[in-house]
Amino acid sequence: DAKTTQPNSMESNEEEPVHLPCNHSTISGTDYIHWYRQLPSQGPEYVIHGLTSNVNNRMASLAIAEDRKSSTLILHRATLRDAAVYYCILRPSSNTGKLIFGQGTTLQVKP
Amino acid sequence: EAQVTQNPRYLITVTGKKLTVTCSQNMNHEYMSWYRQDPGLGLRQIYYSMNVEVTDKGDVPEGYKVSRKEKRNFPLILESPSPNQTSLYFCASSTAGAWTDTQYFGPGTRLTVL
């Protein structure tokens, strides 16, 4: 199964952009890249996903490398509420429902 | 409101005493799964179900059972809990099949096995 690698922690200042990297060098050709985040004392929540092209939604942007071996979640203006653990997840194309979580990156946002 | 509910939210039990953690979703999702979360290990999938009466093992299924008799419910059963099953458990659901589907997670059940 393809694995993901993320930095353990990152820091950001409030209202500045944040770039959260994820490496997935063994990704399969049709695996989707999902990002979830987990706020303190809550279950994970969906952030964004993509396959090959860059994606934008109201929460974030996802930049996917041309070779798909890495991706970056971009929070355009970090707020204190964005302090969370961010997980980069590969959704296998084999349609088994199995998700592979990375270790996650703990994002600290300083006021 | 679309949601995944889990009960109980907190449970302290003793080794060997059978317990069930319930999970229910109101979104008519086919796919449901259970995860456990431990410090330093992130979330690991225990079992999942693609639809009623269809279940399969995730990464860490040992010591757990599940059943899927109804679409909305997916209980997690610990027949003989042990201290190494002390953990934070999350249930999740989504529509089945498509790799683009968002998974919705419950609020978590914190289990302590003494």
State whether B42 and A104 contact (CB < 8 Å).
yes
Per-residue confidence (pLDDT) for residue A96, from 0 to 100 = 61
Could you give the CA distance from residue A46 to residue B86 in angstroms, rounded to a whole number?
Answer: 26
Greater model confidence, A16 or A103: A16
Return the percentage of chain A with pLDDT > 70, whole number: 91
Distance CA B102, CA B113 (A): 32
Residues of chain B with pLDDT under 50: none
B102–chain A nearest CA distance, Å: 6
| B31 contacts in chain A (CB < 8 Å) | 97
Q: Give the pLDDT of residue B95.
A: 84
Structure-token match 């084999």, residue found: A94
pLDDT at A87 over 70: yes
Give the pLDDT confidence score for residue A3 in this predicted structure. Answer: 84
Q: Which of A42, A92, A102 sits opposite B107 (nearest CB)?
A: A42
Whole-angstrom distance, CA of residue B75 vs CA of residue B21:
6
Chain B residues whose CB is inside 8 A of the A104 CB are 42
CA-nearest of B62, B60, B63 to B42 is: B60
Burial of B68 (0-12, 13-18, 19+ CB in 10 A): buried
Q: Is the pLDDT of residue A99 over 90?
A: no
Q: Is B83 helix (H, G, I), strand (E, B) or coil?
A: helix
What pLDDT sits at residue B41? 81
Q: Is the pLDDT of residue A6 over 70?
A: yes
- Pick the residue from chain B with its C-alpha nearest to A95: B97
| Reported confidence tier of residue A28, pLDDT bands at 50, 70, 90 | confident
Residue A107 predicted with pLDDT over 70: yes
Contacts of B108 in chain A (CB under 8 A): 41-43
At residue B61, the pLDDT reads 97
Mean local confidence (pLDDT), A70-90:
95
pLDDT of A90: 86
Residue with the two structure tokens 């890249």: A33
User: Count of CB contacts below 8 A, A vs B?
Assistant: 57
